[in-house]
Amino acid sequence: EAQVTQNPRYLITVTGKKLTVTCSQNMNHEYMSWYRQDPGLGLRQIYYSMNVEVTDKGDVPEGYKVSRKEKRNFPLILESPSPNQTSLYFCASSFSGSGANVLTFGAGSRLTVL
């Protein structure tokens, strides 16, 4: 089944404890992206990647890192999480980075930082 898989789905952590949210897609998509969803703010882009070894900042990149060493994987790294990073995170992918291309989303990762 074609899908985007995120792990973990739920995580509670404490301020400053580094964590990684993994994202993997099995559709051979070139484009991958991370979003955070907060009440009243919709989906805001954190980072995106047009292809392997190519990553760029989205609208809210502060406090996050990403890497794209392989086409299928695009992990989101929080080096020193803070409470304002408590949010619902989505990974998404598409064939290319064209805005007209349809994104396939993962099921989401709900992160709570205490």
Partner 1 sequence: GQQLNQSPQSMFIQEGEDVSMNCTSSSIFNTWLWYKQDPGEGPVLLIALYKAGELTSNGRLTAQFGITRKDSFLNISASIPSDVGIYFCAGSHTDKLIFGTGTRLQVFP
Q: Which amino acid is at 45?
A: Q
Tokens coding 69: 């060493």
Closest approach of partner 1 to the CB of residue 43, in Å? 4
Q: Hunting for tokens 């291309």 — which residue is that? A: 101
Judged by beta carbon, residue 15 or residue 93, the one nearer partner 1 is: 93
To the nearest 10°, report the CA torsion of 56, 59, 64, 65: 0
Tokens coding 63: 């406090």
Burial of 16 (0-12, 13-18, 19+ CB in 10 A): exposed
Q: Is 1 in the site for partner 1 (CB under 8 A)?
A: no
Angle at 56 between CA 92 and CA 61, to 5 degrees: 80
Among 90, 93, 111, 113, binds partner 1 (CB under 8 A): 90
Among 30, 44, 65, 77, binds partner 1 (CB under 8 A): 44
Stretch that binds partner 1, among 20-28, 69-77, 79-87, 93-101 (CB under 8 A): 93-101
Q: Is 43 in the site for partner 1 (CB under 8 A)?
A: yes
Footprint (CB under 8 A) of partner 1, residues 54-73: 58-60
Binding site for partner 1 (CB under 8 A): 4, 35, 40-45, 58-60, 90, 92, 97-100, 102-103, 105-108
